A and B are shown apart, each in its own frame.
Chain A
Amino acid sequence: MSDKLRIVIVDDEPLARAVLREYAAADPEIEIVADCANGFEAVKAVADFAPDLVLLDVQMPKLDGFEVLELLGKDQAVVFVTAYDQYALRAFEVHAIDYLLKPFSVERFQEAVERARERIRAKTAIPVDEILRDAKPRTGHAERVLIRDGANVHVLPVDKIDYVEAQDDYVAFKSEGKQYLKDQTLSAVEEALDPARFVRIHRSFILNIDRIAKVELYAKDSRMAILRDGTRLPVSRAGYARLSQLL
């Protein structure tokens, strides 16, 4: 195994990829392992090749650069590439994330790659949650949830979620009989979802209120929510208070 820096290039514009390829080719210490035209390909390439560094365009169709970052997680070294995006630039500055502003010179590219090498050596994690919070002005509640499943990306519209369950270090999104695991806390999920449609009924459960058939008392101070498909979920006392307030 050589000690070349193995990179993945992600940009939806062919010319932008051509520039990155050209600049990368000028450095014998860099090996391009994949060249992706969108975020889905990027997630797959990262799963397949486990690159050292991802050069990631911010503005892309379907999955933008920040959503890809969310899916790749904090341990993947990333250098963002963008033409102009005031929120993104501010977030990069605040969190000392290196980025390339299009158009950029080969010297600027080499500098960014060099800094990335240092970060990789130092195993510096990226503050993903903070960047996501600052880079995208929150216009409302999440409309969809992105889940990475190996090389695949599931885009789950929130109205297809039945409930969310905390499972050790993960949360499980239950939808149409399937389960999708995501590396996130239940509190972060609760914060992202619309509180008028999703309610935390228990320390370990967030429920889509459209799915409730009825709530039964089965012991003192202890209730069960019965969903339309027959699933039974525990409801805590505080959860029941929140639920009754909403219904």
Chain B
Amino acid sequence: MHPILASPGRLAAYIAIWLPLGILLAALLALQGVFGWTRAAVVAVPLSISYGFLCLSAWYVTGGSPVERVGAARVAIAAIGSSLLSAAVWLLIARGWLALIGGLAQWPDINASFRAAAPTLFGFGFLLYLLAMAVSYLAAAFAVSRGAERRGLELQVLAREAELRALRAQIDPHFLFNSLQSISALTTVDSAAARRMCLLLADFLRETLALGARARIPLSAELALVRKFLSIEQVRFGPRLQVEIDPGEASDVPVPPLLLQPLAENAVTHGIAHLLDGGVVRIRAERRTASLAVTVDNPVDADRPAGRGTGLGLRNVRERLASAYGADAFAHAEEHDGTYTVRVELPL
């Protein structure tokens, strides 16, 4: 469907453009002395509007595609050829129109003026058709670029949604079931603690969802979330899990949300949980001149069976760093003397 014919409003506006063009044509003809002013108007305005409809065909000639997709030579040939053709068609219409009004208005001599009017009509028609084609090409190019822009935005939204989904999925089902188990145990042992645990868990889940929707949060907010996570795990592990968090001077540094949480989770599930006596999960941040460095370390069972790696959580962190900072950020993991350390560095 033609974009102008598709809506009555657009069609009316389009016709309204051809009205002054008709008056312009009438003026040209009158000034050349071909017709008197009245006759010129009666001839030119309806002709102009009819040509407006003829020029709608320019859209089909351009095929709704922008110039760069078709090639300049083909565009030039198509433009000149179709303009000549439509100007010629318009001349035929004009001839008919003159014959018609000559009969209707008792202006038998008007037919004789056709020859004098023809060059002006032809030139006018040729140029306007070229213009119509130019406008068609422009409109097509505009539509393409707007489409590209919209697709770009859609892609951004999709990427963001995917990331959020990934973040939500990151909340390990183990963690939820274990927390529910702890609450179930506490209800009879210590009901006040059970309620505290419920509130902690609710807070943690709510914050995870709220913070996850933002592009960046201050390090202090991320560390507060991590602390909440570890507090919940402390209820489960008791004195086996100890926590030390030192934000350094970096509390206000913006970081991607939930960047450190998977590392804390790894420290518990792959570190502390495999040790009979547990240990300390230590998180330290350090602000440097142009970067933020955060280390998460925890003791590990040196002879734990292979194949229980921390791969997924760490890979997740690396992917998020890469999408947020490109090559300017990294996460490095190493195990040394029974301590597993992950070091994250990102630009300020």
Chain A residues with a Cβ under 8 A of chain B: 12-16, 18-19, 22, 37-38, 40, 59, 61-62, 83-84, 102-103, 139-140, 143-144, 155, 157
| Residue pair B276, A61 in contact (C-beta under 8 Å) | yes
Chain A contacts for B276, CB-based, 8 A: 12, 37-38, 40, 61-62
| Residue pair B181, A140 in contact (C-beta under 8 Å) | no
User: How close is A89's CB to chain B, nearest CB, in angstroms?
Assistant: 12
Instruction: List, sorted by A's number, 29 A–B pairs whose CB atoms are closer than 8 Å.
Output: A12-B273, A13-B178, A15-B182, A15-B185, A15-B189, A15-B235, A15-B236, A18-B185, A18-B189, A22-B188, A37-B276, A59-B273, A61-B274, A61-B301, A62-B274, A62-B275, A62-B301, A83-B177, A83-B181, A84-B173, A84-B174, A102-B178, A102-B180, A102-B184, A103-B177, A103-B185, A143-B305, A144-B303, A157-B303
Chain B contacts for A155, CB-based, 8 A: 303
User: How close is B176's CB to chain A, nearest CB, in angstroms?
Assistant: 9
Question: Once the chains are docked, how many angstroms separate the CA of A103 from the CA of B180?
Answer: 6
Chain A contacts for B178, CB-based, 8 A: 13, 83, 102
Q: Is B306 on the interface with A (CB-CB < 8 A)?
A: yes
Main SS at interface, chain A: loop
Chain A contacts for B235, CB-based, 8 A: 15
Given contacts A15-B186, A15-B236, contact A143 B306 (CB under 8 A): yes
Question: Once the chains are docked, how many angstroms separate the CA of A102 from the CA of B180?
Answer: 8
Q: Is B8 on the interface with A (CB-CB < 8 A)?
A: no
| Residue pair A61, B273 in contact (C-beta under 8 Å) | yes
Question: Once the chains are docked, how many angstroms separate the CA of A11 from the CA of B235?
Answer: 15
Question: Once the chains are docked, how many angstroms separate the CA of A140 from the CA of B237?
Answer: 30
Given contacts A15-B189, A62-B301, A83-B177, contact A103 B184 (CB under 8 A): yes
Question: Once the chains are docked, how many angstroms separate the CA of A84 from the CA of B185?
Answer: 17
Chain B contacts for A22, CB-based, 8 A: 185, 188-189
Question: Once the chains are docked, how many angstroms separate the CA of A46 from the CA of B162?
Answer: 50
Chain A contacts for B238, CB-based, 8 A: 13-15
Q: What would 15 more interface pairs be, CB under 8 Å, given A15-B235, A59-B273, A140-B307?
A: A15-B182, A18-B189, A19-B184, A40-B276, A62-B301, A83-B174, A83-B177, A83-B178, A83-B181, A84-B174, A103-B180, A103-B183, A140-B306, A144-B305, A155-B303
Question: Once the chains are docked, how many angstroms separate the CA of A140 from the CA of B307?
Answer: 8
Question: Once the chains are docked, how many angstroms separate the CA of A18 from the CA of B184?
Answer: 10
Chain A contacts for B173, CB-based, 8 A: 84
Of A16, A59, A83, the residue contacting B185 (CB under 8 A) is A16
User: How close is B245's CB to chain A, nearest CB, in angstroms?
Assistant: 23
Q: Kindly identify, within residues 168 to 204 of chain B, every residue whose CB is under 8 Å from any CB belonging to chain A.
A: 173-174, 177-178, 180-186, 188-189
Smallest Cβ-Cβ distance to B304: which chain A residue: A62
User: How close is A209's CB to chain B, nearest CB, in angstroms?
Assistant: 21
Question: Once the chains are docked, how many angstroms separate the CA of A187 from the CA of B48?
Answer: 98
Question: Once the chains are docked, how many angstroms separate the CA of A136 from the CA of B237?
Answer: 24
Of B181, B240, B274, B301, the residue contacting A16 (CB under 8 A) is B181
Question: Once the chains are docked, how many angstroms separate the CA of A38 from the CA of B307?
Answer: 21
Chain A contacts for B301, CB-based, 8 A: 61-62
Question: Once the chains are docked, how many angstroms separate the CA of A155 from the CA of B305?
Answer: 11
Of B183, B184, B237, B275, the residue contacting A13 (CB under 8 A) is B237
User: How close is B305's CB to chain A, nearest CB, in angstroms?
Assistant: 6
Smallest Cβ-Cβ distance to A86: which chain B residue: B173
Given contacts A61-B276, A62-B301, A83-B177, contact A13 B306 (CB under 8 A): no
- Candidate in A62, A83, A155, A157 with the most chain B CB atoms within 10 angstroms: A83
User: How close is A23's CB to chain B, nearest CB, in angstroms?
Assistant: 10
Of B184, B185, B186, B306, the residue contacting A139 (CB under 8 A) is B306
| CB-based closest 4 A-B pairs | A139-B307, A15-B185, A103-B184, A102-B181
Question: Once the chains are docked, how many angstroms separate the CA of A20 from the CA of B186?
Answer: 12
Question: Once the chains are docked, how many angstroms separate the CA of A61 from the CA of B278?
Answer: 9
| Residue pair B305, A19 in contact (C-beta under 8 Å) | no
User: How close is B181's CB to chain A, nearest CB, in angstroms?
Assistant: 4
Chain A contacts for B274, CB-based, 8 A: 61-62
Smallest Cβ-Cβ distance to B269: which chain A residue: A59
Chain B contacts for A16, CB-based, 8 A: 181-182, 185
Question: Once the chains are docked, how many angstroms separate the CA of A59 from the CA of B308?
Answer: 12
- Candidate in B185, B189, B240, B301 with the most chain A CB atoms within 10 angstroms: B185
Question: Once the chains are docked, how many angstroms separate the CA of A38 from the CA of B273?
Answer: 11
| CB 8 Å contact bits of B232-261 with A (1 = contact, 0 = none) | 000111101000000000000000000000
| Residue pair B177, A84 in contact (C-beta under 8 Å) | yes
Chain B contacts for A19, CB-based, 8 A: 181, 184-185
Question: Once the chains are docked, how many angstroms separate the CA of A144 from the CA of B173?
Answer: 29
